[in-house]
Chain A
């Protein structure tokens, strides 16, 4: 078991090291995230009240768009020079490989969420009323998106049409995460009188199923 986590940590550290050195997240994905917030501002006529009312939904749509980029990136680093074959031959379990890849995506998503939270506070004038709920929602939704995304990234890997296929495969499956996280944020930002903690329960169920299901299914996918 300790071997499992050591392997997973190794893979995650490798992916994060690649990100730290290539700076794709910092130089491309993060500016894109802010750009999306600005575009929503243009589309909704820069009306601060409208933007504030819809901030939770806009926030999570922006997270999903950025997640797609992060996942594409996570898949493409394994495509070059047959890196995935190397990982498979290394003898580590596909589940450990999955947990490692998903953890790296998770860390990147959390960074993006922090940035986007600052973005909606500054640009849309949102106020965080329940910081604990914001943090818990952000973490659970990031687990759900990272695990589902990593599994679907593996599904679409090696295909010429990966970039266009991944969104239509992944986004419908993540519909409950979008709904749940948006409603939880509605409560946390004081936008609507809903029970955000109940929605957190749904996110938790999704995150657990995605982690367990992804780890199990990943074996069937990478051993092609």
Chain B
């Protein structure tokens, strides 16, 4: 039924290998800039002259902020692909939704971890209940953990695809309500407003942050590409197994049995 168009024993291709090399070099450059070349965030208090700021903790933001943005990109991609699946019912949309959800969940976990580590010295707490973005991201992470558990638990690929699509859409629709409710709940946020628009941050800092966006965008693309190919191969493999099983059963059963079974069912 499902013939593999080309037999490969790897999910890599020339393009993806090139992308991988560029991504890894970019990641190394980013780490060099973020952790060595940029200055720590130290400012002098205008009246007392004390040293204030985020000090070395600011370096984590070069990873944290782009990770957070691409987490949302991945989950939106998952929701769009899920909607696409419910309309078109093609394997491409489903495989894309699953891949985006998995990579998005990993990114989301990293956002929470880096944020927590950053928050300890800067906010003086590992965790801040009441912070809208923090709570929304955590609920999002938990919802997609459920999504992945559901996908893994469902054996029938079509059922898995449909149920997964509904869960992903519900998760994304629920998100604004979660966000609203947490905001009303405590009505306060520790998160700093974006300082990008005012261009207050210095040249090298801005460059490193932009490099972070570029590199983590590449990381997302690279991981998505491979996860999508793995998903596609899994699907082909499952299709192969079913086709073989059906063929074997067909060979075993003679026509009289089939008629009897159909008669009984009707």
Contact = CB atoms under 8 A, between A and B. Distances in A.
A156 B171 contact: no
A155 B166 contact: yes
A159 B158 contact: no
Contacts, number: 74
A202 interface: yes
Contacts of A171: 142
A193 interface: no
Interface stretch (B67-75, B149-157, B211-219, B228-236): B149-157
B75 to A, nearest CB: 13
B206 interface: no
B177 A172 contact: no
A175 B139 contact: yes
Contacts of A156: 150
Given A155-B166, A168-B149, A173 B171 contact: yes
A78 B53 CA distance: 60
A206 B150 CA distance: 23
Given A220-B86, A220-B162, A224-B162, A176 B146 contact: no
Q: Is the interface of A mostly helix, strand, loop or mixed?
A: helix
Nearest to A182: B185
Contact of B185 (A183, A206, A220, A221): A183
A139 to B, nearest CB: 19
B24 to A, nearest CB: 34
B224 interface: no
Contacts of A161: 153
5 contacts: A151-B166, A161-B153, A165-B149, A176-B181, A179-B181
B145 A168 contact: yes
Interface in B100-144: 139, 142-143
B170 interface: yes
From B145, B158, B166, B180, residue with most partner A Cβ within 10 Å: B166
A196 to B, nearest CB: 12
B42 interface: no
B58 interface: no
A193 B105 CA distance: 38
A221 B169 CA distance: 13
A180 B174 CA distance: 14
A121 interface: no
Given A179-B185, A198-B184, A206-B177, A172 B163 contact: no
A39 interface: no
Nearest to B147: A169
Interface string A145-175: 0000001000110111100010011011101
Interface residues on B, range: 20 to 34
B173 interface: yes
Interface in B201-249: none
B170 A202 contact: no
Interface string A173-198: 10110011001000000000000001
Contacts of A198: 184
A31 interface: no
Contacts of B32: none
Contact of B159 (A169, A173, A180, A224): A224
Contacts of A180: 181
Please name the 7 residue pairs, one residue from A and one from B, whose CB atoms are nearest each other, closest first.
A176-B181, A172-B142, A169-B146, A168-B146, A172-B143, A179-B181, A176-B177
Given A168-B145, A202-B180, A224 B154 contact: no
A160 B143 CA distance: 20
B178 interface: yes
Nearest to B86: A220
Contacts of B169: 217
Contacts of B180: 176, 202
Contacts of B166: 151, 155, 217, 220-221
B182 interface: yes
Contacts of B146: 165, 168-169, 172
B99 interface: no
A180 B156 CA distance: 37
A173 B143 contact: yes
B167 interface: yes
